[in-house]
Amino acid sequence: MTCWTCGAQLNQQSPLELRCALCFKKNYRFTRAISIGNYHGLLQKLVIRMKNQHDEPLTIQLGNLLANQIIDSELCDSVDLITAVPTHWWRRFKRGFQAAEMIADTVAHAVDLQFDPDIIKCQRSTQKQGTLASTSRQKNVQNAFRVNSSASLQGLRILLIDDVMTSGATVNEISRVLLSSGAEKVYVGVIARGARVS
């Protein structure tokens, strides 16, 4: 079973309608999230390899797998535009690789939708979310993102792509910013959902 809201793969059916216990009490701004699977086992190893080794062919393959999930979910008809979670310019300069952007570009080609990597800007450097306790993650990304002043989002339904979603703090904050700038809905697509399931 899969949680319709946060994209977690569940071992049993949730009694909470469209939400699982992991996200039931969270005020997510995005409408729905889709993932290939949970962040463990082989998928975890592939994501780590993709990020640490800057493995572009693997990133593209994972992007195509995510695109298949999105196609199977029939979400494509509900999306106008695809963008990616941005990285602060300094971190991007040091890494020379933006996995989320490459995944988003791959998904956009596969589902025949426009990809715009410049909608959202990361305006201040944040700590890596994975190094923080879940209670600190929301504060870490608060007001860290802004919409590009040249972007016109009024009424658009946007698919936001990232590599991994754990607490959902980053994609939730970006969703808030997109919605406050006129977007109608925000959906999220990730390679892996970093979730502890029952």
**H or E element that contains 147:** strand 145-147
Read off the pLDDT of each residue in 170-196 and give the average, rounded to a whole number: 93
Span 29-63, pLDDT tens digits? 999 999 999 999 999 999 999 988 889 999 999 99
pTM assigned to the model: 0.90
3-state class (DSSP) for residue 110: helix
Within-domain flag for 183: yes
Write the CATH number for 50: 3.40.50
Q: 175 in a domain, yes or no?
A: yes
Note the pLDDT of residue 108.
98
2 located within any domain: no
Q: How far apart are CA 99 and CA 154, in angstroms?
A: 27
Q: List, for residues 72-101, the tens digit of each pLDDT value.
A: 999 999 999 999 999 875 666 566 678 999
Range(s) of the domain holding residue 77: 32-193
In this predicted structure, the answer to whether residue 150 has a pLDDT above a threshold of 90 is: no
Average pLDDT in the chain? 87
Within 13 A of 2's CA, how many CA atoms are on the CB side? 15
Assigned domain for 4 exists: no
Q: CB burial class (10 A; 0-12, 13-18, 19+) of residue 52?
A: exposed
Assigned domain for 23 exists: no
Task: Give Cα 10 to chain centroid, integer Å.
Answer: 19
Range 100-119 average pLDDT = 96
Three-state secondary-structure class, residue 43: helix
pLDDT of residue 99: 92
Gap between the Cα atoms of 88 and 123, Å rounded: 7
Q: Average pLDDT, stretch 2-19?
A: 78
- Give yes or no for a contact between 107 and 67, defined as CB atoms under 8 angstroms apart: yes
Measured distance CA(110)–CA(68) in Å, rounded: 8
* Count of structural domains, the chain: 1
Q: Is residue 21 part of a domain?
A: no
Inside any domain, residue 5: no
Residue with structure tokens 């600190």? 136
The residue type of 117 is: P
24 found inside a domain: no
The token duo for 163 is 């590599």
DSSP label at 103? H
Per-position b or e across 160-183, b if 16+ CB within 10 A of its CB: bbbbbbbbbbbbbbbbbbbbebeb
Integer Cα distance of 8 and 192 in angstroms: 8
State both tokens at 113: 């939708």
